[in-house]
Amino acid sequence: MRRQVLDVQDIEIVYRTRGGPVRAVSSLSFSVFDNEVFGLVGESGSGKSTLAMAILGNLPDTGVLTRGRILFDGRELGAASPATWRAVRWKHLAYVPQGAMNVLNPLRRIRDQFDDIISDHGVRSNQPDWKATILALLKAVHLAESVLACFPHELSGGMKQRVCIAMAMLLGPKLIIADESTSALDVISQRVVLQTLLEVRARLNAAIVLIGHDLALQAQVADRVGIMLAGRFVEIGPVTRIFDRPLHPYTQRLIASVPSIRHQHGLPDVVAADEAERKAWLSEDARLLEVEPGHFVASPSVPRQ
Ligand SMILES: Nc1ncnc2c1ncn2[C@@H]1O[C@H](COP(=O)(O)OP(=O)(O)O)[C@@H](O)[C@H]1O
Ligand SMILES: [Mg+2]
């Protein structure tokens, strides 16, 4: 049986701002299984990074999980001590943040940044097997050993991104969350990074939550996708079913906006949703209903039988 690595149960996340509370995520539930790539797709501002931060126990002070539970490997870590979180991060739960290439320390060589992660977890980094591990990881992300001696500015954006992925893999986590890992890259680097993530999954038997706004790109690597709109899921399902039979009007819009699909089916150019449509799609009492095994859609758009 497939094991649940991540189980998010009916969460709500609110930011406290000067202008009052901002609800960034509402009534959101989903699970991720072993060895699965789950694509989290949604437009900018739909709450993807907020959700990632909550899973990582890393919300800013103004962000509060006001409802629900997040279980990692069957354990709720929300109230865990900072020390427990530190132990869990990198080791079990790794993160490739949005704009990851900018999180590398510009003043330290790549080698030293690998060593920092290892020594932060109380392991000595000067053992020969670490050296071999790091070299194998670099190879896995198609980088040469010589990058270890480099400072970040000596590498291209795509190379830095792949360094971050190699770092995320270092301690063999069970779940990797990659936030917009390819958005800032050219098409060729995007392919290499996505391919690398798939190889990582195979190598670690890890689950990956791949966050992005480009459904067509996600579809190339994800097993399942969840479509987010304004802090909620409007549809979740196996990627093939979402493409063959998108049920929510927002998902249908997204799919129709993929040029190759649009041409293939002779669909008109996409018209952006207007406010009234968005309101209708976001009814407060919308529940995700399972319309076929594993395929969930927000209730107002479920077709009548
Ligand atoms: N630190 C913050 N304080 C207040 N509001 C925030 C903060 N971070 C994000 N938000 C708001 O929460 C919503 C979701 O943002 P975010 O999670 O960054 O979306 P995404 O990653 O999908 O672009 C947006 O409306 C955004 O303005
Ligand atoms: Mg984001």
Pocket flag, ligand 1, residue 50 (CB < 6 Å): yes
pLDDT single digits (tens) 162-205 = 899 899 888 889 999 999 877 777 777 788 778 888 888 888 88
Mean pLDDT rounded to a whole number for the chain: 86
Q: In this structure, what token pair is assigned to residue 82?
A: 């900072």
* Nearest-ligand number for the alpha carbon of 181: 2
User: For residue 53, which atom of ligand 1 is closest to its CA?
Assistant: 17
| Plot region of 122 (φ>0 → left; ψ -120 to 50 → alpha; else → beta) | left
For residues 28 and 278, the model is more confident at 28
Angstrom distance (rounded) from CA 27 to CA 159 = 38
- All domains of the chain, ordered by start, with CATH? 4-222 (3.40.50.300), 224-305 (no CATH)
Q: Mean pLDDT over residues 53-73, rounded?
A: 93
Interhelix angle 128-140/157-169, rounded to 10 degrees, is 130
Distance 49 CA to ligand 2 centre (A): 4
Indicate the range of 9-13, 61-65, 268-272 predicted with least confidence. 268-272
Best probe residue, ligand 1, of 18, 22, 40, 61 (max atoms within 8 Å of C-beta): 22
How far apart (Å, rounded) are the C-alpha atoms in residues 178 and 144?
22
**For position 284, what pLDDT does the model report?**
66
pLDDT of 1 higher than 60: yes
- Note the pTM of the prediction, 2 decimals: 0.89
Per the CB < 8 A criterion, the answer to whether 262 and 75 are in contact is: no
Q: Rounded to the nearest 10 degrees, what angle do helices 157-169 and 110-120 cross at?
A: 20
CB 45 near ligand 1, within 6 Å: yes
Q: Is 17 in the pocket of ligand 1 (CB under 6 A)?
A: yes
Contact (Cβ atoms closer than 8 angstroms) between residue 49 and residue 179: yes
- DSSP one-letter code for 271: P
* Between residues 84 and 211, the one the model is more confident about: 211
Helix (H, G, I), strand (E, B) or coil at 40: strand
